[in-house]
Amino acid sequence: MDSRKIPKPTIKRLAIFHRCLENLVISGVSSISSKDFADRLGIKASQVRKDLSYFGEFGKRGVGYNTELLLDSISEILGIRKRWNTCIVGMGNLGMALANYPGLSKSGFVAKALFDNNPNKIGMPMPNNLMIESTAKLKEIVKSRNVEIGVITVPASAAQSTADLLTEAGIKGIVNFAPIRLSLPQEIINEEIDISASFRSLAFSMTYGSSKKGRKH
């Protein structure tokens, strides 16, 4: 383990490895080579081996990887056993969708609070014994429920102030869906998901032709 010099894309891929391995284990595949595994994901075998090599040696030379063992190791690496308390700020369509998305809680991200400042929404009951609460109470609630991750799904104009509020509340990580780059203290980890930007990027590639190589598989 080469501690602390792990490429970000490697982490993203590990999350994908994890999902693929789950399927393999369920399908009863007990062993797989880096080549076969890579083909399934549309990447190179060397990439698979290099990604794993940052964290240790998980395979058997001449054989391949034991799927269950590897799944376990990757769960460990990604800290998937840990549960993370999250809160969602901005219960518009996207916030609602996230609050109802089972994939997140399945991955260990548990919503502990949902905030909005629209009085008509406050008090609205939501799944998992939650209800929408006032943003005014955010600081207090985040602290008392040990929320570590804040999800920002407010309009762009309110994103920075929401981020500031979350920071003051002592949050450690932010997932920001608002199409704006946030100014944050450097100790706060920040992940941006800009849906419009992805669409635009797609449109550009469609117009000018992709520079990427085609996926075979």
Partner DNA sequence: TGCTGTGAACGACTTCACAGCC
Partner DNA sequence: GGCTGTGAAGTCGTTCACAGCA
Q: Residues comprising the binding site for NAD(+)?
A: 90-95
Contact call for residue 200 and DNA (CB under 7 A): no
Name the amino acid, one letter, at 93. N
Which residues make Cβ contacts (< 8 Å) with residue 166, sequence separation at least 6? 89, 138, 142, 150, 152, 174
CB of 80 to its own copies, least distance (A): 7
Contact call for residue 63 and its own copies (CB under 8 A): no
Contact call for residue 120 and its own copies (CB under 8 A): no
Among 37, 65, 109, 115, binds its own copies (CB under 8 A): 109
Q: What is the side-by-side order of every strand in the sheet holding 59-60?
A: 31-32, 64-66, 59-60
Among 49, 126, 158, 173, binds DNA (CB under 7 A): 49
Backbone φ and ψ for 166, nearest 5 degrees, come out as -60, -40
Angle at 187 between CA 183 and CA 188, to 5 degrees: 55
Q: What token pair was written down for 205?
A: 């590639």
Q: One symbol per residue from 65 to 84: x for binding DNA (CB under 7 A), - otherwise; what is it?
A: x-------------------
Q: One symbol per residue from 11 to 40: x for binding DNA (CB under 7 A), - otherwise; what is it?
A: ---------------------xxxx-----
The one of its own copies, DNA, none whose footprint includes residue 215, by CB under 5 to 8 A per kind, is its own copies
Distance CA 217, CA 29 (A): 19
Three-class DSSP category at 100: coil
Point out which residues bind DNA (CB under 7 A). 5, 7-10, 32-35, 43-47, 49-50, 52-53, 57-65
